[in-house]
């Protein structure tokens, strides 16, 4: 006959072992959970030890931050020449815009930031008024201020615009205009009318099958040949039109992916409510499709913003072109002058693209309604 033990008092739960909690537990669980993880972690640390110290020395440790010319940057063993970036910063931002008139560009930057920030904050009030000011009033204000020729503002041709200003103008115009065009093309591609559907498909496939460089050349060189005699279209406008239509074709396919991801029941629910086509699309279908298409749409926006650097091929002085042209300044000539300039341009593009990416993730989390897996 065996003895039976019955506990008559409550036993307090034991704490987890020290090796599975705290910093030690996180390291063991995330870096050395298996032999394969341990090898990858060690390899990663070795790569960091190999790459970070020389990179830090080049960017900060041996870099030249203050100098009057490139003499200090030409000393052997020096790193990045940030003094050259600081000296050329106005040129990188404004291009050849007259220095005495650069306050007009600054006003456009400030007003644009004041209008776009409340639009991006979901809880900010007066969205309709803000949208009208940004999408209708602001472009007119920018055109009047930058171009001049009225209200006693001196005329500044677009050939003198350049740098980050032109990059932002092309990128912002392309993003704002291409999205509604892309939505219209998507709806046209799904139209039951053969003419509308065929024209939409032909437009999308034609623009998607041509490289952006070819389109920019066509817009810059060939388009004026087909324009009526005596009519000229500004080179910057032609580039914006080319970039916008090119991006609209890609956005149309991104939105179409969102439409196809919707279950058939959503269409049937709209029909059961007795909604006509515009209302069912505007109130039920498109809001859900656009929410599902956010990753693809933002991916296209990021691609568009980076592709603005291609306008330098048709002679427009965007940020990359101004950086590239400044490398011929012999006063700042040094072995790392061009590398520093391209690093600066890359950082500017990265900052804007990373900001768009993080904002899209924020919107996805905010609109998440059960589609996240």
* CATH for 256: 1.10.3720.10
pLDDT given at position 43 = 94
pLDDT given at position 354 = 92
Confidence band of 1 (pLDDT split at 50, 70, 90): low
Question: HEC string of 208-239?
Answer: HHCCHHHHHHHHHHHHHHHCCCCCCCCHHHHH
C-alpha pair distances (Å), 183 with each of 53, 210, 216, 277, 295:
48, 20, 23, 15, 15
Query: Does 148 lie in the same domain as 52?
Result: no
The answer to whether residue 3 sits within a structural domain is no
Q: What is the mean pLDDT of residues 159-184?
A: 89
Contacts of 331 (CB under 8 A, 6+ apart): 69, 70
Q: pLDDT tens digit string along 91-101?
A: 999 988 888 88
> What's the gap between Cα 152 and its chain centre?
35
Query: Does 319 lie in the same domain as 217?
Result: yes
pLDDT of 159 > 70? The answer is yes
pLDDT given at position 56 = 92
Q: At what angle do helices 235-261 and 163-189 cross, to 10 degrees?
A: 40
Q: At what angle do helices 163-189 and 194-209 cross, to 10 degrees?
A: 140
Q: What is the mean pLDDT of residues 112-136?
A: 87
> What's the gap between Cα 195 and its chain centre?
34
pLDDT given at position 14 = 78
pLDDT of 165 > 60? The answer is yes
The answer to whether residue 74 sits within a structural domain is no
Query: Does 129 lie in the same domain as 44?
Result: no
pLDDT given at position 32 = 84
pLDDT given at position 336 = 86
For 81, which DSSP code? B
Q: At what angle do helices 294-307 and 337-367 cross, to 10 degrees?
A: 160
pLDDT given at position 263 = 83
Query: Does 86 lie in the same domain as 43?
Result: no
For the chain, give the percent of residues with pLDDT over 70. Answer: 97
The answer to whether residue 98 sits within a structural domain is yes
pLDDT given at position 18 = 66
Query: Does 291 lie in the same domain as 167?
Result: yes
Query: Does 173 lie in the same domain as 37?
Result: no
What is the rounded CA–CA span in Å between residue 322 and residue 293? 35
Query: Does 353 lie in the same domain as 233?
Result: yes
Cβ 91 vs Cβ 335: under 8 Å? no
List the one residue out of 239, 113, 127 whose CA is nearest residue 174: 239
List the one residue out of 83, 35, 160 whose CA is nearest residue 331: 83
pLDDT of 358 > 80? The answer is yes
Residue 352 tokens, joined: 């804007």
pLDDT given at position 190 = 85
Q: pLDDT higher for 223 or 90?
A: 90
Confidence band of 372 (pLDDT split at 50, 70, 90): low
List the one residue out of 163, 172, 369, 169 whose CA is nearest residue 262: 369
Q: What is the mean pLDDT of residues 179-206?
A: 89
pLDDT given at position 42 = 92
pLDDT of 238 > 90? The answer is no
Q: pLDDT tens digit string along 321-338?
A: 899 888 888 888 888 888
| Backbone angles phi and psi of 339, in degrees to 5 | -60, -40
Quote the domain boundaries for residue 341: 80-367
Query: Does 264 lie in the same domain as 207?
Result: yes
Q: pLDDT tens digit string along 244-296?
A: 888 899 989 888 888 888 888 888 888 888 888 888 888 888 888 888 888 88
pLDDT of 205 > 80? The answer is yes
Total count of domains within the chain: 2
What pTM value is reported for the model?
A: 0.83
Average pLDDT, the chain: 86
The answer to whether residue 373 sits within a structural domain is no
pLDDT given at position 294 = 85
Query: Does 100 lie in the same domain as 57?
Result: no
pLDDT given at position 271 = 82
The answer to whether residue 324 sits within a structural domain is yes
Query: Does 363 lie in the same domain as 267?
Result: yes
Q: pLDDT tens digit string along 5-40?
A: 787 888 888 777 766 777 888 888 888 888 888 899
pLDDT given at position 48 = 93
Torsion of CA 302, 306, 311, 317, to 10 degrees: 120
Query: Does 110 lie in the same domain as 29?
Result: no
Query: Does 299 lie in the same domain as 257?
Result: yes
Residue ending a domain, among 33, 61, 89, is 61
The answer to whether residue 27 sits within a structural domain is yes
The answer to whether residue 73 sits within a structural domain is no
The answer to whether residue 155 sits within a structural domain is yes
């Amino acid at each position: 006959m065996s003895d039976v033990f019955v506990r008559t008092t409550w036993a307090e739960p034991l704490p987890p072992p020290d090796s599975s909690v705290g910093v030690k537990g996180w390291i063991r669980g995330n870096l050395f959970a298996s032999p394969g993880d341990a090898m990858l972690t060690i390899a990663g640390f070795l790569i960091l030890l190999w790459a970070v110290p020389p990179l830090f020395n080049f960017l900060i440790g041996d870099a030249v931050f203050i100098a009057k010319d490139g003499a200090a940057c030409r000393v052997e063993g020096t790193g990045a020449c940030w003094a050259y970036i600081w000296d050329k910063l106005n040129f990188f931002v404004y291009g050849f815009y007259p220095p005495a008139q650069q306050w007009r560009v600054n006003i456009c930057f400030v007003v644009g930031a004041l209008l776009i920030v409340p639009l991006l904050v979901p809880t900010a009030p007066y969205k309709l008024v803000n949208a009208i000011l940004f999408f209708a009033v602001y472009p007119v204000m920018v055109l009047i201020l930058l171009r001049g020729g009225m209200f006693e503002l001196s005329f500044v041709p677009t050939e003198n615009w350049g740098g980050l200003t032109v990059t932002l103008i092309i990128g912002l115009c392309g993003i704002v205009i291409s999205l509604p065009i892309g939505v219209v093309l998507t709806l046209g591609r799904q139209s039951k009318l053969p003419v509308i559907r065929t024209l939409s498909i032909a437009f999308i496939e034609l623009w998607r099958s041509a490289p952006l460089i070819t389109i920019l050349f066509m817009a810059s060189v060939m388009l004026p040949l087909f324009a009526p005699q005596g009519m000229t279209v500004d080179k910057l406008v032609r580039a914006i039109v080319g970039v916008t239509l090119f991006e609209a074709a890609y956005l149309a396919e991104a939105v179409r992916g969102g439409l196809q991801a919707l279950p058939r029941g959503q269409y049937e629910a709209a029909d059961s409510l007795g909604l006509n086509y515009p209302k069912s699309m505007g109130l039920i279908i498109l809001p859900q499709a656009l929410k599902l298409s956010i990753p693809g749409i933002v991916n296209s926006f990021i691609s568009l913003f980076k592709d603005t650097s291609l306008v330098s091929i048709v002679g427009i002085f965007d940020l990359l072109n101004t950086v590239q042209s400044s490398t011929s300044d012999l006063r700042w000539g040094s072995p790392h002058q061009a590398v520093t300039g391209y690093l600066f341009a890359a950082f500017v593009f990265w900052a804007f693209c990373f900001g768009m990416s993080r904002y899209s993730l924020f919107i996805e989390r905010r609109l998440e309604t059960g589609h996240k897996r």
